Amino acid sequence: MEIINNLTNINQLLAKFIEQDEYTSIGYIPILNSITASDIITIKKAHKLLDIIIVQNVSEYKLDDFSKKTLGQLNPHLVIDFIDQESSDMHISLNTNIINSLNLMKGILAVLPSSVFITPENFEIFKAINTLESTFILTPENLRSFAELEVIKSLQSLEKSKIEISKGSILKSLNDCQVISFQQLKTDLGLYINIKVKSDLAENILDISYCFKQ
């Protein structure tokens, strides 16, 4: 088990999980900072159903010592603790006061899980996840830069075309960009990709996730 409190190297960690099999399934379990009996049961069940288990603390506080010790015994592949805020000029509200909405959104969009497991007791998390799913496709466009939107527009055009979706066709659709890295994960819902590209429209490298739906 590895515990992280930032998403700086999340793509490298996810790549290690799926390097042997692109069909590796990833289970995502959001919890609060104090683990409950229901959380423990949920994590154990998720271990039986999926290949990789990622737990994220989505509360406003870091995991307490008991929760860390318990998670160590349950041994999920990755634990995302409270994500240190890198910027104070961004605010996301998912209509709940007990969880960190921005951290939840950052985590689930970084992981792009095959399945999300939520215990019945964590109603606030369930409500927030539903709000996220119904409001955003993958990442809200108002958080995207113009350069990112141009890349996404190219991917959307490819998805609407009759061309077979493959790594080759995806890279060809981005011929105006320099592709630095490419990762993909195929699930029952579609083909998830994460790409890092250099565009003439942006100074920084763009890190973009997209789902080609089945």
Tokens encoding 96: 């709940």
Statement to judge: residues 110 and 202 lie in one domain = no
Q: What is the pLDDT of residues 43-95, one digit of tens each?
A: 988 888 888 999 999 999 999 999 999 999 999 999 999 987 655 555 666 66
Domain extent, residue 91, equals 2-135
Statement to judge: residues 145 and 109 lie in one domain = no
Domain final residue, candidates 102, 135, 168: 135
Q: What is the pLDDT of residues 105-149, one digit of tens each?
A: 888 888 888 788 887 677 778 777 777 665 554 443 434 456 777
Statement to judge: residues 131 and 164 lie in one domain = no
pLDDT, position 66: 95
Sign of CA pseudo-dihedral 89, 60, 2, 185: negative
| pTM of the complete model | 0.60
Number of domains in the chain: 2
Strands, E, within 39-189: which ranges? 52-57, 78-80, 115-116, 178-187
Distance set, CA 161 to CA 76, 151, 167 (Å): 39, 16, 15
Statement to judge: residues 105 and 33 lie in one domain = yes
Statement to judge: residues 145 and 130 lie in one domain = no
CATH of the domain at 56: 3.40.50.620
